[in-house]
Amino acid sequence: MLFLVTVVVLLASAQAKFYSDCGSKLASLEMVGVSGCPETAKECVLKRNTNITISLDFTPSKDVKSIEAEVHGVIMNLPVPFPLPQPDACKNNGLTCPLKAGQKASYVATLPVLKSYPKVKVDVKWELKNEDDEDLICILIPAKIN
């Protein structure tokens, strides 16, 4: 019986994700990776004065001409924009636009965590939007800026 309980707990923890989907409408999300953040973490620790890299593997459900990335820190339900060095996801981020429906795509971006950012808990909302401002991907990553 103890063995069975242990297996169930291990399977449940293996399924746990460090992020949640907040409205990925036009793509199926297959993988999310954040540098320095293990998949089993409850929150990602973002160290100030460093860079983090995020990678997203997804498959769009319809053709996409262009993609813009938007990142917000959500603190007490208030979204605060994080400036991206390259918001055009089709330039220097691993994507070649246009994207075809049903073909897997991989997005990789690096975001500076500035020394001026306050030490605070924050939900990082990362969105990839198509040319019609519709969400392909929307994820929330619980984080702590240190």
Residue-wise pLDDT for 12-45, tens only, equals: 334 458 899 998 999 999 999 999 898 888 999 9
Residue type, 106: S
Residue-wise pLDDT for 124-137, tens only, equals: 999 999 999 999 99
pTM for the whole structure: 0.84
142 preceded by cis ω (within 30°)? no
Which domains are seen in the chain, by residue range? 18-145 (2.60.40.770)
- 44-46/135-145 β-pairing: parallel
Residue-wise pLDDT for 51-109, tens only, equals: 999 999 999 999 999 999 999 999 989 999 988 889 999 999 999 999 999 999 999 99
Grouping H, G, I as helix, E, B as strand and the rest as coil, residue 6 is: helix
Grouping H, G, I as helix, E, B as strand and the rest as coil, residue 84 is: coil
Residue 2 predicted with pLDDT over 70 = no
